[in-house]
Structure formats: C-alpha cells, structure tokens
Structure 1
Amino acid sequence: MSFDPSFMWTAFLSLFKALPTTLFITIISVVAGFVIGTVVALARLYRIPVLAQIASAYVTFVRGTPMLMHLLLIYFGLPILIDSIAGALGSSFTSASIPLLAFACIAFSITAGAYMSEVVRAGILAVDKGQIEAAHAVGMTTPQALRRIVFPQALAVSLPNLSNSVIGMLHGSTLAYTISVIEINAQAQIVAADNWKYFEAYLAAALLFWGLTVLIERASGWLEYRLNSFQRGGAA
C-alpha cells in the first residue's frame, strides 16, 4: 500500500458535499447553545429561585458527561418521550418522521449551552458591578443595563473563549456519524471504504477541518479588534 497524493483531490471534492451538513450542525448548535448558555448564566448569577438550581444541575451534568453520551441519550431517549406524548394525545405523529440531523442539532445545542454558560458567566462577572449600579442610578432597569452596558463588554471579554467553543463544536460535529448523519467525517469514511485509501481520505478531512478552524480564528480576531476599537472610541 502506497500513498496516493492525487486521490486527495478526489477526496476533497467528495468531502465538500458533506460540508453544508457540518456547518449547519455547528451553526445551529452554537447559536442555540449561546442562547441557552446566556439564560443559564443569568439564572445562576441572579440566583433565581428553582431556575438557579436547575441551571447548576444542568451545567454539572452536561460538563461531567461525554458529548457522545449526550447525542446517544437524545437519539434513543427523545423518541420515547415524543411517541409517549403523541400516544397520550392520540396523535398520529411519530418520532420516525423527525430527521436524524435534528437529533444531532438538539444534542449538540444542549452540550454547547452548558459550556457557553460558563463563558458568558465569566464575561459578565468581568464587568465592574459599579457600572450596573451607575446604570440603576440614572434610571435604567436591569435588563436595559445588561443589554446596553454589560453584554457588549462581556462579549468583548468572552470572545476568545467563545471562538474556542465554536471550534470545539465544529470538531465535535464529527460524532454525528454515530447516528448515521453524513457529515465530513462520515463522508471521509465512505470515500475511504470505496477506494481503500483511508489515509488520504482522512488526511483530506483533517486539512478541511484545519482550514475551517483557521477561518474561525481569523474571523474571531477581526471581530475582537473591532469590538475593542469601538470600546476605546478609536476608528476601526
């Protein structure tokens, strides 16, 4: 068996077919995870009764268990719940009509939410509490103070860690192949199995992931520069 560089181009063309699925999983899980993480972080920071305890338990459980476990629990557990509810309501809807991609997005959003909640919480805590007190003194409500003063500064502080979370979810999307979702990793396996050129196919997949990671890092660096320039009052 010898290395075939020319086959890597063939593998690249095939892998690009699965690129939209990988990006879709990543974007949905990151956006949904950020929303979940923000809500969880605020519930814990403001010690909202009941919600704070539920949020803490959620973060502890998700961060204490593997990402693959979350995917399998959702894949096998959610259909049981959906079918039970549908049966109780007399509905003809079944979990079999739900696309596999949806299970992957739900599971990864739950995972991202727990990790991003810690990033958001750390960013909010990094903002001086005196600024919130000053906002209250001029008549702002807490939601207004968070939206206008705290969140912009917290985002700038949290951006490097948020970009790491995005990269982590991009790489974690490869686990979707375990429930038969054809993303980049699964497509590489298909190409390799058809041609018995596993090294070339996985090397092409690795280079594609590396390129996507570099793009995320560059975009994060540009956005961080813009945010910091805006806060300093300089021209961006």
Structure 2
Amino acid sequence: MGHIIDSTYIYGTFFAVIPYVKVTLMITFLSVSLGTILGLLSCVLQQNKVPVLSQLSYLYVLLCRSIPNMVLLYLVYYGLPILFLALEDQTGVHVPFEKVPATFVAVVGLTLHTGAYLSEIFRAALQSVPKGQMEAAQAIGMTWFQAFRRIVLPQATVFALPLFTNQFLNTMKSTSIVFVITVIELFGAAKLYTEENSQYFEAYIVVAGLFWVMGIVFEFIFHRLEIYASKYKRGNAL
C-alpha cells in the first residue's frame, strides 16, 4: 500500500495547503453571514406579502435554488462586468471591475445561493410557530416586538438551527468550486501544488481530510448551540 500511496507527498501537501484553510473559512463565513441577511430580507418580504417585492423575492429564491451553484458562479463572474458597463453608460460613473478581486465575485455568487436556501429555512421556521401564540402574547400586554423576540424567535430558532447547520456545511463545501474563477482556496491550492507531478489522489486525500475535520468541528459547535436553544422549545419560550 505504501508503494501505491505516497505518504511523504501527503505530508508535503498538507503543509502546502493548510494556509489556504483561512481563505475557505473566510469565504464561508462571509457568504453565510451575507446570505443570512439576504435570506431574512427575502423571508420578511414574502411573509408580509409586500407588493412587487414579495414576487421578486419569490422569483429570486426559485431561480437561485434551481440553478446549479457553479453555473450561478459563472453567471455572476461574467455578468457583473456587463452590469457595471450598463451602469456606466447610464450614469457616467466608471467602475474599474478589472480591479475587483475574484474573491468578491465568489462571495457574491455563494451569497446568492445560500440566501435563497436560508430564506426558505427561515420561512419554514416562522411558520412552525402557531399564530395563536403571538396573538395570546399580545393579548396579555406584550408589544409585537416583545412577543416576536420572546415567543416566536426562540421557537423558530430551535426549528431552524439543524437546517441552518446543513446549509452552513453545504456552503463551506461549495467553496471548492470557486477555483474555477481563479480564487485559490483549499481545493485550488491542492490542485496547483500537484500539477507538476500529477499525484492528485494524495492531494485530494488531504483536502478531503481537512474538510472532514472542519465539518466535525462545526457540527460540534452547532450541536452545542442546538442543545442551548432546546430550552426554548414550544411551551418553554417564556
């Protein structure tokens, strides 16, 4: 087995790609954070049936959940320059897109994808809390905000956390495709490192192992959050 798999090369690959873990995590956290904001906004627009905006929000969710992640990334990569040129024609303001880092494009693409899924997660979480609880809270003198914060939000969080965890991990794994738009993250670093000798199997063992470890760590963190949030299960929110 030792002649089939070069353990020395695995060792070398590990130290070559480990610095790029921070790039993978940076893209993940930015995409999930911005996707959370976008998902919440989309959810609120749909829940409140805001004219025009709720329809646009529904269309956004439908499109971004239907389009493969890599295709969406390419659309953003090639579409943003066209958008900026159109804005320049209309406003006369020049946007030097050639100076925009590819990492920015990667975050935009993953944010759009993540936000669409989180929008549905948040919507389902809010709908899991019976409307009667909000009405009962307001009947005993709570304001809408107090009732939402103390009654609805804690219970919705319990429902949403496992799904949010899955989406976080999916976004983290999806960072491996941003190499196609020249962003060097964990997978891209391994691919470049091994191009000279084509020992791809060993390199991808390292990448798989690092993603596995990161997945375990974040699974543990979110599991602890779920345990903490479980005290807010229905009937215990107050």
On whether the aligned pair clears a TM of 0.5, the verdict is yes
Identify if the C-alpha distance between structure 1 residues 128 and 230 changes in structure 2 by more than 3 Å, giving closer, same or farther. Answer: closer
1:138 to partner: Cα distance: 3.8
Q: Tell me the TM-score normalized by structure 2.
A: 0.91
Number of the residue aligned with 1:103: 105
Match among 156, 159, 162 for residue 161 of structure 2? 159
Match among 50, 53, 56 for residue 51 of structure 1? 53
Number of the residue aligned with 2:197: 195
Deviations 1:84-142 (A, max 9, x none): 32344333432111111000001100100100111111111111211211233244444
Kindly provide the amino acid, as one letter, of the partner of residue 168 in structure 1: N
1:78 aligns with 2:115: no
1:12 to partner: Cα distance: 1.0
Number of the residue aligned with 1:94: 96
Q: Tell me the TM-score normalized by structure 1.
A: 0.92
1:214 to partner: Cα distance: 0.6
* Stretches of structure 1 lacking an aligned partner (at least 5 in a row): none
- Structure 1: which 4+ aligned runs deviate by more than 4 Å? 230-234
Number of the residue aligned with 1:61: 63
Is the CA contact 2:154–2:232 (under 8 Å) kept in the aligned structure 1? no
In 2, the alpha carbon distance for the partners of 1:58 and 1:143 equals 28
Kindly provide the amino acid, as one letter, of the partner of residue 100 in structure 1: A
In 1, the alpha carbon distance for the partners of 2:145 and 2:227 equals 26
* Stretches of structure 2 lacking an aligned partner (at least 5 in a row): none
In 1, the alpha carbon distance for the partners of 2:163 and 2:140 equals 32
1:146 to partner: Cα distance: 2.6
Residue 195 of structure 1: SS of its match in structure 2? coil
1:152 to partner: Cα distance: 2.0
Aligned length: 234
Number of the residue aligned with 1:14: 16
In 2, the alpha carbon distance for the partners of 1:69 and 1:79 equals 16
1:179 to partner: Cα distance: 0.3
In 1, the alpha carbon distance for the partners of 2:233 and 2:88 equals 51
In 2, the alpha carbon distance for the partners of 1:63 and 1:233 equals 34
1:24 aligns with 2:36: no
1:230 to partner: Cα distance: 5.8
Is the CA contact 2:165–2:219 (under 8 Å) kept in the aligned structure 1? yes
Deviations 1:138-187 (A, max 9, x none): 44444443333212221111111100000000011111001000011111
Is the CA contact 1:86–1:94 (under 8 Å) kept in the aligned structure 2? no
In 1, the alpha carbon distance for the partners of 2:11 and 2:51 equals 57
Number of the residue aligned with 2:7: 5
In 2, the alpha carbon distance for the partners of 1:141 and 1:204 equals 53
Identify if the C-alpha distance between structure 1 residues 91 and 49 changes in structure 2 by more than 3 Å, giving closer, same or farther. Answer: closer
In 2, the alpha carbon distance for the partners of 1:141 and 1:38 equals 21
Identical aligned residues as a percent: 34
Identify if the C-alpha distance between structure 1 residues 209 and 114 changes in structure 2 by more than 3 Å, giving closer, same or farther. Answer: same
- Mean Cα displacement is larger for which, 157-166 or 47-56? 47-56
1:231 to partner: Cα distance: 5.6
